[in-house]
Chains A and B, each alone.
Chain A
Amino acid sequence: MLKTTTVVVGAGHGGLAMSHCLADRSIDHVVLERGEVAHSWRTQRWDSLRLLTPNWMTRLPGYAYCGEDPAGYLAAPDVVELIADYAKETAAPVRANTTVTSVRQNGDGYVVQTDQDCWQARSVVLAAGASTVAKVPALQAGVPAGITTLTPAVYRNPGELPDGGVLVVGASASGIQIAEELHRSGRPVTVAVGEHVRMPRTYRGQDILWWMDAAGLLAERYDQIPDLVRARRLPSMQLVGSPDRRTLDLNSLSDLGVRLVGRLVGIRDGIAQFSGSLANTFALADLKLGRLLDTIDAWAARAGVDSEPRQRFAPTTVPAATPLTLDLRSGETRTILWATGFRPDLSWLDVPVFDRRGEVRHDGGVTTSAGLYLMGMPFLRRRNSSFIDGAGADAADLSDHLTHYLHIN
């Protein structure tokens, strides 16, 4: 059995940021990676996808963007290159093509079994990602035969889909981006819209994320907000990273001719059923956006930020007639794309840290099992914990905790 002090599982930006912090603290460690560095960015991204965060925000411990387009958004291959370069520059001890098959407690540490070796470590950092597996709702069982179904994790471009209508289920970043390009490919697109987080790409002349960063919203801590459970369950922001910095929201999809319907709530006898609550779904998102802009305006006034005047965006237009059902057997719908979110895959974790929903119990990434840490989950420690930009502060905090743990044990 191989020995090290800390095993980091996953060589994405999170695991590498942690590796950098552990090296700074002289903690002996390895980073185990099932594929190559930035594996999911190599294998699970559609062709047109760009980061939702601007280039200047692509910061990691010991790294900052210094290219020519700080306001732009990296395409997936650029993200792979960036993370691979980061691994090289920080000389991270990555063991590539090493899949962890189990992690279990052993004395005062952990045994990490892989398909290559077996490691004994005093501590383990789970940095395998929050979005490893695309979630598909159980009602998929009712989809009639003959309809192609896929998720954003395997979708690449419209050319791979059959001609004909598409039902996109979900209206967060993945759903609206893919809906738009499928519509532009000439396919009739219907989007089933559930709870979503409406965001303009730019506000008062700046990227919306510039405002959220500058006003301190992205650094808000998990132990200082009123409803953490809810904050951790929020869908991803409705954003697209594009060279023209355009806003893509439900109004722009409607204007293009994309049909919006309520949340998909059932499929019965081959007929998809949509919720009649679409108007309130829109109202909730519009009001939430209004509160965010109020917060930003108040901060801008206090901070004396010199920028363009305040803006307010038109409410999301409720379609005059929204169908409550869609007959999936009629031939009108050829494809269903499940843009219904992602989840981590920690099926190899044999440590009793899971709650009844199968999620790891943790306090800001410190799990209930001593020496076992978690990274990269939504609002793990801060609002930006699942962003590339959020990995640095979380890795610094958690590596401090880990160092202290090693010293007192």
Chain B
Amino acid sequence: MTTMHAQVDNGVNVEALLGVRDALPDTPEIAQFQWRTTVSWVNGTHSRSTVDTFYGFGEEQHHKTTFTYDADHPLAFAAQDNGITPVEYVLVALGSCLTAGIASIAQQRKIQLRSVQATVEADEDLHGILGADPAVRNGFSGVRVSYQIDADATADEIKALVAQSQKRSAVYDILTNPTHVTVDVS
């Protein structure tokens, strides 16, 4: 690495993150988080989700403001296109999770980033969700992420950033490994 260490600033407070990790042996319970959203049907395939509170560090937490997200299906599906499709939110989640990881790991490794861009693509065969072919799954048949990164680091150091980011990414884990999901009606 050729970077001047003292000047590396990707805008990530790595000390705070490492401080949490250091506190875990004595207070492991602060690591238990719960994430939430409330989803309301609007009309047709249009729904609106709000995200406001979560639980973590031992207490109820609030986002700085309430965030609202519209999801719908496109005109080509004879829908109103009031928002992106739910599967596109998955791509947004994966790309933003990996990119946040890259920034954090780069900061810890004293690598100055100049630009990071990801293209996230997923393939889906509609035979699945349309119930037209039971052999085809509903979800993605594959997801590809392609990064273009300009940073003060060698090509291998940049590859290692991207690899480590996948290793520590929640959304990457959620997509690559099975998760128990329960849905009930009250």
Instruction: Please report A residues at the B interface, Cβ cutoff 8 Å.
Output: 262, 265-266, 268, 273, 275-277, 280, 283-284, 287, 290-291, 355-356
Instruction: Please report B residues at the A interface, Cβ cutoff 8 Å.
Output: 25, 28, 156, 159-160, 163-164, 166-167, 172-173, 175-178
Cβ–Cβ contact A276 & B177, under 8 A = yes
Cβ–Cβ contact A287 & B178, under 8 A = no
Distance A275 CA – B174 CA, assembled complex (angstroms) = 10
Cβ–Cβ contact A266 & B163, under 8 A = no
Question: Given A280-B167, A283-B159, do A273 and B28 touch, yes or no (CB 8 Å)?
Answer: no
Q: Is the interface of A mostly helix, strand, loop or mixed?
A: mixed
Question: Given A283-B159, A356-B28, do A265 and B177 touch, yes or no (CB 8 Å)?
Answer: yes
Distance A130 CA – B178 CA, assembled complex (angstroms) = 31
CB-CB < 8 A to B177: which residues of A? Answer: 265-266, 273, 275-277
Question: Given A283-B159, A287-B159, A355-B25, do A275 and B167 touch, yes or no (CB 8 Å)?
Answer: no
Partner of A284, one of B25, B163, B175, B178: B163
Going nearest first, the 7 A-B pairs with the smallest beta carbon separation are: A276-B176, A277-B176, A280-B166, A265-B177, A283-B163, A284-B163, A287-B160
Cβ–Cβ contact B175 & A276, under 8 A = yes
CB-CB < 8 A to B163: which residues of A? Answer: 280, 283-284, 287
CB-CB < 8 A to B28: which residues of A? Answer: 356
Cβ–Cβ contact B156 & A290, under 8 A = yes
Question: Given A262-B176, A276-B177, do A284 and B167 touch, yes or no (CB 8 Å)?
Answer: yes
Cβ–Cβ contact B178 & A273, under 8 A = yes
Distance A276 CA – B177 CA, assembled complex (angstroms) = 7
CB-CB < 8 A to A268: which residues of B? Answer: 178
Cβ–Cβ contact B159 & A266, under 8 A = no
Cβ–Cβ contact A287 & B156, under 8 A = yes
Query: Can you list 9 residue pairs at the A/B interface with Cβ under 8 Å?
Result: A262-B176, A277-B172, A277-B176, A280-B163, A283-B163, A284-B167, A287-B156, A287-B159, A287-B163
Cβ–Cβ contact A284 & B164, under 8 A = yes
CB-CB < 8 A to B160: which residues of A? Answer: 287, 291
Apart from A268-B178, A273-B177, A287-B156: 15 A-B pairs, beta carbons within 8 A: A262-B176, A266-B177, A273-B178, A275-B176, A276-B175, A276-B176, A277-B166, A280-B163, A280-B167, A283-B159, A283-B163, A287-B160, A287-B163, A290-B156, A291-B156
CB-CB < 8 A to A284: which residues of B? Answer: 163-164, 167
Distance A275 CA – B178 CA, assembled complex (angstroms) = 8
Distance A277 CA – B177 CA, assembled complex (angstroms) = 8
Partner of A266, one of B164, B166, B173, B178: B178
Q: Give A355's nearest chain B residue, CB to CB.
A: B25
Distance A126 CA – B167 CA, assembled complex (angstroms) = 34
Distance A266 CA – B178 CA, assembled complex (angstroms) = 7
Distance A346 CA – B164 CA, assembled complex (angstroms) = 34
Q: How far is the CB of A292 from chain B (nearest CB, A)?
A: 12
Distance A276 CA – B164 CA, assembled complex (angstroms) = 16
Distance A266 CA – B176 CA, assembled complex (angstroms) = 12
Q: How far is the CB of B94 from chain A (nearest CB, A)?
A: 12
